[in-house]
Amino acid sequence: MLRSRILSTGMHVPEGLVTNHDLARIMDTSDEWIRQRTGIEQRYWVKGNEATSDLALRASEIAIERAGLQKHQIEMIILATLSPDHEFPGTACFLQKKLGIPGIPALDVRQQCTGFLYSLSIADQFIRNGVYRNILVVGAEVHSKGLEKNDRGRDVTVLFGDGAGAVVLGAVDIRDPKSEPHILSTHLHADGAFAEELWTPAPGTGNSSERVGASELENGLHWPKMNGKTVFMHAVKRMPEALIEGLKANGLTPSDIDLFVFHQANLRINDMIAKQFEIPEEKVFNTIQKFANTTAATIPIGLDEAVRTGKLKKGMLVASAAFGSGFTWASAIYRF
């Protein structure tokens, strides 16, 4: 039975450490306010000309090396990001150029916080159907260059960090689905009725006669906007729904899962989900305190951190769930 498994992980964050106290010097906020509402203590922001594909490159090179592969053995690149290097072409193409592996397909996924799980699902299907054997799946973001760093943008700016995480997905012939490492299932959802609850209005063809004009810039429409209460309300509903769906599809219960690696949007959301499912604290791996919300990169960064700290080991059963802009939400169940 042909299936895919995560062969390796990799991550990279830039050198620019930004604490809550640093943000309090440039906007009306405080370390206490940010910690209480989000759990975030610090984040990393790029300096100078670092782009999303630069962070993705470093995470990808680590993952490829750990997989025991040469770069030319990668047959497809799937990169999830909401912060592309440029409006076009896709950032996966810039990553491909930097990796030096021309000719293979390079795909961008624009599903924001759920982007990595969408990408994992796409890669899994290509491998299950025998099209490719080794696929690089990356989540990478440079949020810091697109945040309104003042009091008007405070509620969004304090949430986000820069970083990249990558996994190499490889084909395996499974004989015992109950014990051998592989992707058991992925489950994807979206509801565009809430697209404008968390979005960046400009630039875009949905505006006036131009993709971005003076009025859009004057009104700050090129900065991200968020209805925080609505996003929180839907996140604490949709992530558990997706998690239940994944567990039921595989005849599992929460107690069967060895480690939960959720999207890192808000520590309060993850704590509420853990409480709802009666998940012991030691089974939930959070990184938001250290890296903040890196959107498409949070889950692959979490996987790599969990491996490096000894929390995630070969053979463990893992559950991931995410919720984000779109609205989109998803889950994945996999044996590592």
276 contacts 321 by C-beta, under 8 angstroms:
no
The reply to whether 150 belongs to the active site is: no
From the candidates 93, 113, 143, 234, give the one annotated as an active-site residue.
Answer: 113
The reply to whether 250 belongs to the active site is: no
Nearest to 2 by CA among 149, 242, 180: 180
DSSP class of residue 160 equals B
The reply to whether 263 belongs to the active site is: yes
Whether the ω angle into residue 280 lies within 30 degrees of 0, i.e. cis, is: no
From the candidates 134, 266, 270, 293, give the one annotated as an active-site residue.
Answer: 293
Cα(184)–Cα(177) distance, integer angstroms: 8
Give the CA distances from residue 170 to residues 30, 54, 216, 298, in Å, rounded to whole numbers and listed in that order.
45, 24, 45, 21
Nearest to 295 by CA among 328, 268, 272: 328
95 contacts 79 by C-beta, under 8 angstroms:
yes
212 torsion bin: left (phi>0), alpha (psi -120 to 50), beta (else) = beta
Cα(52)–Cα(57) distance, integer angstroms: 9
From the candidates 20, 263, 266, 286, give the one annotated as an active-site residue.
Answer: 263
187 contacts 31 by C-beta, under 8 angstroms:
no
The CB density around residue 250, as the number of other CB atoms within 10 Å, is 16
Quickly list H helices, the chain: 20-24, 31-38, 52-66, 91-99, 115-128, 154-157, 214-218, 228-249, 267-276, 288-291, 298-308
Q: Identity (one letter) of the amino acid at 264?
A: Q
Q: Which residues are the active-site residues?
A: 113, 263, 293
